[in-house]
């Protein structure tokens, strides 16, 4: 079954979503652990190297491409429990993107399919991490259809990759987003609670979809982005759920 770890392979995990998957936690608060078993796949040229933060290194010179996300803590969490494997992280997240952009035909979807196919040259595509939803928390029409649209996106992604059993773990947006009234051109995110409810219900319909709560997380002071401590917490939650879901 796709997603199972056998003896000593390189387990490739694509990281999809928006800025909280890119990572906005402060680097100064992270110990920048490195291990030859924890690898990074460069999305621009498919090169592989030992991973270190910032894991996401965008071409644009902005804050979200220079900081801590959940990927490295996730990889550490896997290796702590399975020291016999190697973990390769492919961060394809893009700040400010909507679920529509990650759906079939959208720019993020098409890029992800291309880059994940290329990453198969490095090992087994073992599972996907997903953290997105803030951009779909502004309008009721987006929030109330989030689950159905996500499931369609996942069906299409599995089909495009030829991996019908590919596990995916989705994380909730931070609880502080629900009370944020400053972003989105002053509209805030009035539907964030609905999106979080929809995310938590994803696992009801499939054994190959896992979800993790954002309960107890904090922001960097902007009411939108997870701080370093919270990114570490979320990464560890992703690791536990992925190991359960993929049978690792």
pLDDT in tens, 175-224: 999 988 777 666 789 999 999 999 999 998 777 999 999 999 999 999 99
Burial 181-203 (b: 16+ CB within 10 A, else e): eebbeeebbbbbbbbbebbbebb
Distance CA 51, CA 170 (A): 22
Instruction: Over range 229-235, report the average pLDDT.
Output: 96
What pLDDT score was predicted for residue 61?
41
What pLDDT score was predicted for residue 9?
80
What pLDDT score was predicted for residue 177?
94
What pLDDT score was predicted for residue 25?
80
H-run or E-run covering 90: strand 86-91
User: Is 215 buried (19+), middle (13-18) or exposed (0-12) by CB count in 10 A?
Assistant: exposed
Sequence-distant (≥ 6) Cβ neighbours of residue 185 within 8 angstroms: none
Distance CA 178, CA 110 (A): 30
Is the pTM higher than 0.75? The answer reads yes
Percentage of the residues of the chain whose pLDDT score is greater than 70: 90
Instruction: Over range 137-146, report the average pLDDT.
Output: 97
Instruction: Over range 28-38, report the average pLDDT.
Output: 80
Phi, psi of 226 (to 5 degrees): -65, 140
Instruction: Over range 64-93, report the average pLDDT.
Output: 90
Dihedral over Cα of 50, 52, 56, 60: its sign: negative
Whose tokens are 């954002």? That residue is 214
What pLDDT score was predicted for residue 24?
86
Give the β-pairing of 48-50 and 38-41: antiparallel
What pLDDT score was predicted for residue 72?
94
Confidence band for 246, pLDDT divided at 50, 70 and 90:
confident
169: which 2 tokens?
Answer: 């773990």
DSSP annotation of 217 reads -
DSSP annotation of 172 reads P
């Amino acid at each position: 079954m796709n997603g199972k770890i056998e003896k000593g392979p390189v387990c490739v995990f694509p990281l999809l979503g928006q800025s909280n998957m890119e990572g906005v936690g402060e680097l100064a608060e992270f110990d920048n652990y490195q291990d030859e078993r924890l690898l990074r796949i460069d999305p621009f040229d498919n090169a592989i190297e030992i991973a270190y933060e910032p894991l996401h290194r965008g071409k644009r010179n902005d804050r979200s491409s220079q900081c801590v996300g959940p990927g490295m803590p996730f990889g550490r969490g896997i290796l702590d429990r399975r020291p016999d494997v190697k973990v390769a992280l492919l961060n394809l997240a893009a700040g400010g993107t909507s679920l529509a952009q990650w759906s079939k035909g959208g720019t993020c979807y098409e890029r992800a399919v291309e880059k994940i196919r290329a990453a198969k040259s490095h090992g087994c595509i073992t599972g996907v991490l997903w953290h997105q939803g803030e951009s779909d928390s502004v309008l009721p029409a987006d929030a109330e259809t989030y689950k159905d649209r996500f499931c369609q996106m996942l069906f299409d992604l599995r089909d495009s990759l030829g991996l019908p059993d590919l596990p995916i773990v989705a994380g909730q947006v931070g609880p502080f987003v629900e009370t944020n009234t400053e972003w989105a051109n002053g509209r805030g995110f009035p539907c964030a609670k609905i999106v979080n409810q929809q995310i938590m219900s994803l696992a009801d319909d499939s054994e190959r979809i896992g979800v993790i709560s954002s309960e107890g997380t904090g922001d960097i002071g902007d009411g939108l982005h997870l701080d370093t401590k919270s990114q570490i917490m979320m990464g560890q939650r992703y690791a536990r759920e992925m190991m359960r879901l993929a049978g690792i």
